Amino acid sequence: MNIIKVKDTEMGGKEAFKLMKADIENGAKVLGLATGSSPITLYNEMTSSDLDFSNMTSVNLDEYVGLKPDNEQSYHYFMKEHLFSKKPFKNSYVPDGSNPDAEAATKAYDKIIEENPIDLQILGIGRNGHIGFNEPGSPLDGTTRKVGLTESTIEANTRFFEDEKDVPRFAYSMGIGSIMKAKKIILLAYGEAKADAIAATVDGPVTEDCPASALQNHPDVTLIIDEAAASKL
C-alpha cells in the first residue's frame, strides 16, 4: 500500500485530486465514488477544476434502504449536492434504496458494476474498518448485498439525522469483492477516530474483522491520511 500523509483534509483533497486527474488523463472513464465527510474536499477540488466529467461514468458504493433519492439524508442527495449538480457525469449510478426488493436491487447493481468496470475507486473508512457499508464479518469476496448496520456505524451516522431512530438500519452496499476489482483504489481517512481502523487495515491480518484489511491484497491502493489517522501505524 502507498501511504501519503497530509496535514489536513484540504491537502488530502488536493493529493487525491492530483492522482485522479492523472488517472483520467491516462484514460480512466469510470469512477467509483463514496459518501461521508472524508471525500468532500476531493469533490470540492473536482467541482472547482476545469475537468469535464460529462463523458465519464460514476458508480457509488452504497445507499440506505428505505430512503428515496430526494430524501436529504440519502446518498443520492449527498452526491447531487456535493458533485453531480456542479459536475454532471454521463451516467451516475447509486444503488436504489427505494426498492424494497433486495434481490432485484442488488442484482441490478451488480450488473451495472459488471458493465462499467471501475478504473478508480474512492473510499472512506468506518471507525470499525468498514468500507462502503461492508461491516466487520462481511465476506471479503462479496458482491452487492443488503447489509445491516452495526451500532457503532448507526451512532457515527446519527450526526446527519435529527434523531438516532431515524438512521436507517439497512443499506445496499457494493461488496468487498466488487471493490477489489477496481483497477486503482484511493482510501481517505482523517482524524483520531480512524487511527485503529487504519492500523488494522495496514498492519493487521487480512480478516473479515476489519473489512478494509482486504485491501492489502490489492495491487494499487493509496491511503491518503492525516497525522491523527496515522498515529497508530
- Residues taking part in catalysis: 62, 128, 130, 135
Q: Is 128 in the site for ligand GLP (CB under 6 A)?
A: no
Q: Is 126 in the site for ligand GLP (CB under 6 A)?
A: yes
- Residue 27 CB coordination number (10 Å): 7
Q: Work out the burial of residue 5: count CB atoms within 10 Å of its CB; fewer than 13 is exposed, 13-18 middle, 19 or more buried.
A: middle
Our CB check for ligand GLP shows the closer of 57 and 157 to be 157
Among 9, 12, 33, 35, binds ligand GLP (CB under 6 A): 35
Query: Alpha-carbon distance 56 to 190, whole Å?
Result: 28
**Shortest distance, CB of residue 24 to ligand GLP, whole angstroms?**
22
Inter-CA distances, 137 with 57, 61, 132, 207, 210, Å:
30, 18, 13, 8, 8
Query: Alpha-carbon distance 156 to 101, whole Å?
Result: 27
Our CB check for ligand GLP shows the closer of 57 and 60 to be 60
Q: Is 125 in the site for ligand GLP (CB under 6 A)?
A: yes
Q: Is 124 in the site for ligand GLP (CB under 6 A)?
A: yes
Our CB check for ligand GLP shows the closer of 3 and 160 to be 160
- Residue 116 CB coordination number (10 Å): 17
Our CB check for ligand GLP shows the closer of 57 and 74 to be 74
Among 53, 89, 93, 133, binds ligand GLP (CB under 6 A): 133
Inter-CA distances, 80 with 41, 70, 150, Å:
15, 10, 26
Which range in 32-40, 45-53, 85-93, 175-183 contacts ligand GLP by CB under 6 A?
A: 32-40
Q: Is 153 in the site for ligand GLP (CB under 6 A)?
A: yes
Query: Alpha-carbon distance 144 to 124, whole Å?
Result: 17
Question: CA torsion, points 163, 10, 188, 85, in degrees to nearest 10?
Answer: 60
Our CB check for ligand GLP shows the closer of 19 and 33 to be 33
Query: Alpha-carbon distance 182 to 32, whole Å?
Result: 8
**Share in percent of the chain as helix, strand, coil (round to 5):** 35, 20, 45
Q: Is 74 in the site for ligand GLP (CB under 6 A)?
A: no
Q: Is 59 in the site for ligand GLP (CB under 6 A)?
A: no
**Shortest distance, CB of residue 214 to ligand GLP, whole angstroms?**
15
Binding positions for ligand GLP, 166-225, rule CB under 6 A: none
The DSSP symbol for 204 reads S
Among 20, 34, 167, 195, binds ligand GLP (CB under 6 A): 34
Chain positions contacting ligand GLP, by CB under 6 A: 34-38, 61-62, 124-126, 132-133, 153
